[in-house]
Structure 1
Amino acid sequence: MTISLASAVSRLGTETAFDVLAKAKAMEQAGRDIINLGIGQPDFPTPDNIVQAAVKALLAGHHGYTPANGILALREAVAEDIGKRRRCTVSPDAILIMPGGKPTMFFACLLFGEPGVEIMYPNPGFPIYESAIRFSGATPVPIPLHEETGFSFSAEEVLAKITPATRLIIVNSPANPTGGVVPRREIEILVTGLERHPHVAVLSDEIYSRILYDGVEPVSFLEFDSIRERLIVLDGWSKTYAMTGWRLGYSVWPKAIIDKANRLSINDHSCVNHATQWAGIEALTGPQGAVDTMVAAFDERRRVIVDELNSLPGFRCVNPGGAFYAFPNITETGLSSRQMQDRLLEECGVAVVSGTSFGAFGEGFVRFSYASSVDSIREAIARIRAWLPTAV
């Protein structure tokens, strides 16, 4: 007898960065010297004041369940932080505390997606967007991100793709994998245009909103009142506070659907780790110097990696405006994105991620994470420079 699985399982994609990480770790264990520029994880430790807040919470007995939407003190801290950084007012009752960012993506797609529905998403973009859309039964409609505009999108191009079947548009700025930042003007045009399409909701993934360069100010969809009642905003602690393994995120929901999102939380994970939530409060309300230090280090690494990549034959790399990813064009090398990913790891000991891992429009590109030291970046590029003449 052969077991049968639901057809939806076959529609699930994956996040190739974790596959590359696993292979790189296996090669390291076998004795290879690997420089990992693949995984999107800060190489900084979680600041000590945040760690100590979690320890204090555990010692104080915060071991039990919490409300599914998170402890009130954390939701109040999130609301206050949003007010300071995004210059808008959000009620703690509109906030759900989540175990990371991905549950918000899945919840949004499950709430809006079904057969016959279209959901728009950035391409190249974070691979879980397309995976979650397909899993829901909806049709994924890619929003092309253009190298010549720094991997922003054209708001008019997005608006032109809207049909009566469109229910949700996913936006990510600053973006993974490109580091692209959507200019305020494009967001304003999109928001104004959406007034003609009241049936369309927006999921704005703003997880990298604190990691911006060259004095660029973050733009949040929360600033625009006309969209608030059909807007979901995703953010969290993983990138900003080097808390990837803590699995702590949050989302802001419209009044009309937050109860349904909260019910999904109850069905899915009950609640978020209790002590971790107290660590989240300390992260938001405590000293912010560690964040400034990390962003300054990322900025230095950004300048180094872009200069180094542009010095390689067959590579060209636009300057990322945010996050900690470079997304060079490699078409002139003659290698496909997957060939470049696999050969750099196997022949150079440098882990990167194929652009096609982030959608079909990622062909001809690879993602380098510069959440690693300047010395590691320089050594990785030196290896690639020495290897290229024999590889292409």
Structure 2
Amino acid sequence: MKPQLANRVHTLTPSTTLAITAKAKDLKEQGIDVIGLGAGEPDYNTPQNILDAALKSMNEGKTKYTPAGGLPALKKAVIDKLQRDQELSYEPSEILVGIGAKHVLYTFFQVFLNELDEVIIPIPYWVSYPEQVKLAGGVPVYIEGTAKQQYKITAQQIKSAITDKTRAIILNSPSNPSGMIYSETELQEIALVCKEANIWIISDEIYEKLIYGDAQHVSIAQVSDDAKERTIIINGVSKSHSMTGWRIGYAAGNKQIIKAMTDLASHSTSNPATTSQYAAIEAYTGTQDAVEEMRAAFESRLEIIFPKVTAIPGFKVLKPQGAFYLLPDVSEAARMTGYVSVDAFVEAILTEANVAVIPGSGFGAPSTIRLSYATSLDLLEAAVARIDSFVRSKWQEDLL
């Protein structure tokens, strides 16, 4: 019997990321030496002090249900972290702890959006933003941040895109996939437009601890009292503390929204995993040495690998300021090697050069690919060498 699925499921766009990942897995199972540069998670284990805290909590019998919105001690740890890092003050009623930042974001859209409400999404975007908006009945409105703009959008672009149906805008800084960071001045200008139009701001700050060079992370909630009032911060321990599998994220902001999110969580998830919450308490209250060690390692890899990627014919890439991704425009390389699209180019790199990268089409930027440097330097250098050799071997001067 063929099931009749809910209409909302048919709005979802198939994931190009998952398609490439599945094909890479098949090749590996055939014994082919595939190097994967698609990782969206640190290649470090969770720090030992966090592992110890999790085990201690289990041995002490802390394995039962917790409040739906998170343990009071974890909410306090989040509040202290926001005060320490961003000088932002919140109350427990303004904090929700959930099952990873992704599900916290999903919960927000479910309680916030009505049918056909519009949400402004900058391009390039993280793949789940538009899908979550659509699942909540909303309409994604895209604004392109070009390479000339460092893949960021401007206040004027936002102002031009606002309609009477606009409810919110999503900002992701540092960005996945570009690694770019909005400056304080840029955020001030955006916040002013949002104030004038009376729209909300969702600030995804999951990569805030992975910052390089002279760059600085500023939360848009810091730029003014009004910005703080209309901003929902989304963050968590996944990237900062290499805890992707523990699934702990949080939202900070308006208490009415947080209450609605908590009420929904009480009927959908009961509570975040108890052991994971105790691990997260240690992540935020314990030593941060491992966080800095990991950040420094990513920066070191970036400094080594960036010039090598830049040297690949037809690759145009901006140096990221944060996260752990490169987003080169490879449209010229794809064209000069005879491929009709970057997606086809990516598939050829996988099947012929045995390197898995993510096509930018999944991020709304079809001329690009995303390369993750959250893997060992040896593998990174080998992968880039394979791609370079592949491009040079297929380059056709007569296509100029």
**Shorter-normalised TM-score: what interval?**
over 0.9
- What corresponds to 2:376 in structure 1? 373
> Where does structure 1 differ by over 4 angstroms across 4 or more consecutive aligned residues?
none
Q: Deviations over 1:163-209 (max 9, x none)?
A: 110011111000001111111111000111222112x1111100001
- Residue 101 (structure 1) shift: 1.1
The match for 1:390 is 393
Residue 385 of structure 1, CA deviation = 1.6
Counterpart for residue 297 of structure 1: 297
For 1:80 and 1:232, locate their aligned partners in 2 and report how far apart those are by CA, in whole Å. 17
The answer to whether the 8 A contact 1:15-1:128 is kept is: no
Structure-to-structure mapping, 1:318-329, within 5 angstroms: 318-329=318-329
Residues of 2 paired with 1:15 and 1:61: CA distance? 40
Give the structure 1 partner of residue 218 of structure 2. 219
Cα offsets for 1:244-265 (capped at 9, x unmatched)? 1111111113022211111111
Secondary structure (helix, strand or coil) at the match of 1:232 reads strand
Aligned-pair CA distance for 1:216:
1.8
Aligned to 2:65: 65
State the partner residue of 1:356: 361
**Aligned equivalents of 2:382 and 2:213: distance in 1?**
26
Pairing 1:124–2:124 present: yes
Moved more, 367-376 or 22-31: 22-31
Alignment of 1:1-392 (within 5 A): 2-198=2-198, 200-223=199-222, 224-333=224-333, 334=335, 335=339, 336-359=341-364, 362-392=365-395
- The letter for the 2-side match of 1:29 is E
Residue correspondences, number: 389
Q: Please, what is the CA RMSD of the aligned residues?
A: 1.4
Shift of residue 115, structure 1, vs aligned partner: 2.8
Amino acid at match of 1:218: H
Q: Secondary structure at the match of 1:323?
A: coil
2:214 is aligned with what amino acid? Answer: G
TM-score (norm 2): 0.94
1:15 deviates by: 4.5
Task: Return the alpha-carbon distance in structure 2 between the equivalents of residues 12 and 51 of structure 1.
Answer: 36
The aligned amino acid for 1:351 is A
For the Cα contact (< 8 Å) 2:90–2:253, is it kept in 1?
no
Q: Deviations over 1:116-175 (max 9, x none)?
A: 321111211101001111222221101212211221221221122111100111110000
Partners of 1:340 and 1:366 within 8 A in 2: no
2:250 is paired with a residue whose SS is strand
Contact 1:13-1:127 at 8 Å conserved across structures: no
Kept in 1: contact 2:123–2:142 (CA 8 A): yes
Unaligned runs of 5+ in 1: none
Letter of the structure 1 residue corresponding to residue 274 of structure 2: H
Letter in 2 for 1:374: L
